Structure 1
Amino acid sequence: MRTRLLRHFQALWLFWGLMLVSGLSSGASPQWATLDWTLAETLIALDAPLSGVAQIDAYHAWVGEPRISERVADLGLRTQPNLELLADLSPEAIFISPMFSNLTARLSRIAPVEPLTLYQADSDTWHEMQGLTRKLGKRVNRERQAETLIASTQALIDRLKARAPTTAPLLIVQFMDERHVRVFGKNGLYHAVLEQLDMTNAWQAPTNAWGFSLVGIEALAAYPDAQLVVVEPLPIGVEAALANSGLWQHLPSVREGRVITLPPTWSFGALPSAQRFARTLVSALEAAHDN
Structure 2
Amino acid sequence: MNKSSKVMSVLIPSFRHFALILGSLWLAASPTAASDSLATLDWTLAETLVALGESPDGVAQVGDYHSWVGEPRLPSRVTDIGLRTQPNVELLARMAPEHILLTPMFAHLTPRLSRIGTVDSMALYTPGDDTWEQILGLTRELGELNGDRESAEALISSTEARMAELAAQLPATVPPLLIVQFMDERHVRVFGENGLFQAVMDRLGLENAWQGETNSWGFSLVALEALLELEARLVVVEPYPAGVEAKLAESALWQHHPSVRDDSLITLPPTWSFGALPSAQRFAELLVNALVRPMLGNL
TM score, norm. by length of structure 2: 0.90
Q: Which runs of 5+ in 2 are unaligned?
A: none
Classify 1:22/1:53 alpha carbon distance in 2 versus 1 (closer, same or farther; 3 Å).
Answer: closer
Q: Equivalents in 2 of 1:130, 1:24: separation in Å?
A: 33
1:276 matched to which residue of 2? 282
Q: Which residue of 226, 231, 247 maps to 2:253? A: 247
1:41 matched to which residue of 2? 47
1:261 aligns with 2:267: yes
1:106 matched to which residue of 2? 112
1:19 aligns with 2:22: yes
Which letter maps to 1:128?
Q
Q: Equivalents in 1 of 2:27, 2:213: separation in Å?
A: 55
Q: Which residue of 92, 101, 110 maps to 1:86? A: 92
Classify 1:79/1:5 alpha carbon distance in 2 versus 1 (closer, same or farther; 3 Å).
Answer: same
State the 1:116 CA deviation.
Answer: 0.3
Superposition RMSD on alpha carbons, in Å? Answer: 2.5
State the 1:115 CA deviation.
Answer: 0.4
**Aligned to 1:50, what secondary structure does the other structure show?**
coil
1:62 aligns with 2:68: yes
Q: Equivalents in 2 of 1:169, 1:75: separation in Å?
A: 41
Q: Is the 8 A contact 1:168 1:200 kept in 2?
A: yes
State the 1:50 CA deviation.
Answer: 1.6
4+ aligned runs moved over 6 Å, structure 1? 1-11, 21-28
State the 1:4 CA deviation.
Answer: 9.8
Q: Equivalents in 1 of 2:35, 2:71: separation in Å?
A: 24
Q: Is the 8 A contact 1:260 1:288 kept in 2?
A: no
2:219 matched to which residue of 1? 212
Classify 1:287/1:271 alpha carbon distance in 2 versus 1 (closer, same or farther; 3 Å).
Answer: same
Q: Is the 8 A contact 1:33 1:93 kept in 2?
A: yes
State the 1:122 CA deviation.
Answer: 1.1
Q: Which residue of 182, 185, 196 maps to 1:189? A: 196
State the 1:2 CA deviation.
Answer: 11
1:152 matched to which residue of 2? 158
Q: Is the 8 A contact 1:35 1:96 kept in 2?
A: yes
Q: Is the 8 A contact 2:35 2:98 kept in 1?
A: no
Q: Which residue of 170, 186, 193 maps to 1:179? A: 186
Q: Is the 8 A contact 1:48 1:142 kept in 2?
A: no
State the 1:252 CA deviation.
Answer: 1.9
Q: Which runs of 5+ in 1 are unaligned?
A: none
Q: Equivalents in 1 of 2:242, 2:217: separation in Å?
A: 24
State the 1:20 CA deviation.
Answer: 3.9
Q: Is the 8 A contact 1:46 1:145 kept in 2?
A: yes
State the 1:288 CA deviation.
Answer: 3.5
**Aligned to 1:235, what secondary structure does the other structure show?**
coil
Which letter maps to 1:80?
Q
Q: Equivalents in 1 of 2:133, 2:35: separation in Å?
A: 30
Deviates more, 1:1-10 or 1:181-190: 1-10
Q: Equivalents in 2 of 1:186, 1:67: separation in Å?
A: 28
Residue deviations 1:138-175 (CA, integer Å, cap 9, x gap): 11112111001100110100000001122111100000
Q: Equivalents in 1 of 2:27, 2:41: separation in Å?
A: 30
State the 1:22 CA deviation.
Answer: 7.0
Give the number of aligned pairs: 290
TM score, norm. by length of structure 1: 0.93
Q: Percent identity?
A: 56
